[in-house]
Amino acid sequence: MMVSELGEFGLIDLLAEMVASSQDKRAASWQQLILGIGDDAAAWKGSASIQLATVDTLIQDVHFSLNTATWRELGWKALAVNLSDIAAMGGLPGYALVALSLPGHTPVEDVTELYRGMIELARQHGVAIVGGNVSSAPLVTITITVIGVTGRDGRLLTRSSARAGEQVAVTGQLGTAAAGLEMLTRRLRFDPETTACLRSAFFCPQPRIAEGRLLAAQGVKAAIDISDGLVSDLHHICRASLVGARINVDAVPIQPAVKASLGDKALQLALAGGEDYELLFTASAGVVERAQKLASCPVTVIGEIVPDKAGEVSLVDREGQPFTLPNSGWEHFAKPAATGQT
């Protein structure tokens, strides 16, 4: 059945039912919920914690292609990029609103698959999907808003808190998602394990919620999630904090499978590819060391914050020689030649 046969209200009823039956009664957000999908607005009990809110959009043939992504992967990713923003603030996500537009000839099963992907990730993080909007449109767009809170200590991770002398560190490994995109767009063929790993990194990133909270609790002040690319996102921190940064490119953690399959391009993807949704943060050596001990994922020091050259990110290799990067991260509206992706 196509969406146009079911109709807007039939589709909303179906999705509301899927979401309601996915309810996790142990999650605080579900416990606080007063009204979910089906009224003019969602309603839940408030708290005195600091509130966080973020929104992000995935657009067909800009952020994804229906030729390569499954609907389930799209649902996961559309929510994941927003949860990642909450993670980058050191927060805990609570509620999601989903604005979906799609052509009337879209099969209903595709839309339910999209919601299955979203619901799966939402359940893992205790997020309640509480509202949204469905519109007809010539192409698919998925805009998700996530609302969350900080911990009771009210500690926030911001882009503007980096200080000279701090170390620059990242969670996990970089370049895997961009390698996945490279594999899909250039139709590269690897062994099944590598293929699955790269595809999953690109379509199903795991937002670093626990790590963001751990960093905030340990006293980290400055962080961002890596969506545009390491250099570009570090640039955001430097600009907001009025500091510079120096990265040792040889210290950037890259999966062996990415190096093996992409060769020399692996480093470029790790520096500028983006979409890894790892956390990039700055802190004193002692704080970073504590984070390394407590985190359940690798935490790697890749450089330092410097007082001069405010807003600038410089790259050096292990011998301290300048390293030049051909491309420097994703920017919407930028000419293809100046971006890592087009």
Q: Does 86 bind a second copy (CB under 8 A)?
A: yes
122/179 with CB nearer a second copy = 122
Residues 19-78 binding a second copy (CB under 8 A) are 34-35, 38-57, 59, 61-63
Q: Does 8 bind a second copy (CB under 8 A)?
A: yes
Closest by Cα among 141, 5, 157 to 74: 141
Q: In what order do the strands lie in the sheet with 128-136?
A: 128-136, 92-102, 141-149
Residues 100-139 binding a second copy (CB under 8 A) are 101, 104, 130-139
- Return the amino acid letter for 111: V
- Find the shortest distance in angstroms from Cβ 205 to a second copy: 15
97/254 with CB nearer a second copy = 97
Cα 21 from chain centroid (whole Å)? 26
- What does the block give as tokens for 34? 């007063």
Write the binding mask 145 to 164 for a second copy: x where contact by CB under 8 A, - elsewhere: x-xxxx-----x-xxx----
222/325 with CB nearer a second copy = 222
Q: Does 342 bind a second copy (CB under 8 A)?
A: no
Q: What is the DSSP letter of 65?
A: -
Q: What is the DSSP letter of 317?
A: -
Please choose, out of 99-107, 178-186, 213-221, 290-298, the segment that lies near a second copy by the rule CB under 8 A.
Answer: 99-107
Task: Identify the three-state secondary structure at position 19.
Answer: helix
Residues 182-241 binding a second copy (CB under 8 A) are 224-225, 240
- Find the shortest distance in angstroms from Cβ 318 to a second copy: 31
86/234 with CB nearer a second copy = 86
**Which residues 6+ apart lie within 8 Å of 65 measured at CB?**
none
- CA distance linking residue 91 with residue 97, whole number of Å: 17
Note whether 297 and 245 are within 8 A (CB): no
Please choose, out of 68-76, 172-180, 241-249, 331-339, the segment that lies near a second copy by the rule CB under 8 A.
Answer: 331-339
Task: Identify the three-state secondary structure at position 235.
Answer: helix
- Find the shortest distance in angstroms from Cβ 74 to a second copy: 15
- CA distance linking residue 107 with residue 169, whole number of Å: 44
Q: Where are the alpha helices (DSSP H) in 69-227?
A: 71-87, 108-124, 176-185, 192-203, 209-217
Q: Does 337 bind a second copy (CB under 8 A)?
A: no
- Find the shortest distance in angstroms from Cβ 319 to a second copy: 32
Instruction: Kindly determine how many residues on this chain lie close enough to bind a second copy according to the rule CB under 8 A.
Output: 73
Write the binding mask 243 to 282 for a second copy: x where contact by CB under 8 A, - elsewhere: ----------------------------------------
Q: Residue 143's CB: how many other CB atoms inside 10 A?
A: 18
40/319 with CB nearer a second copy = 40
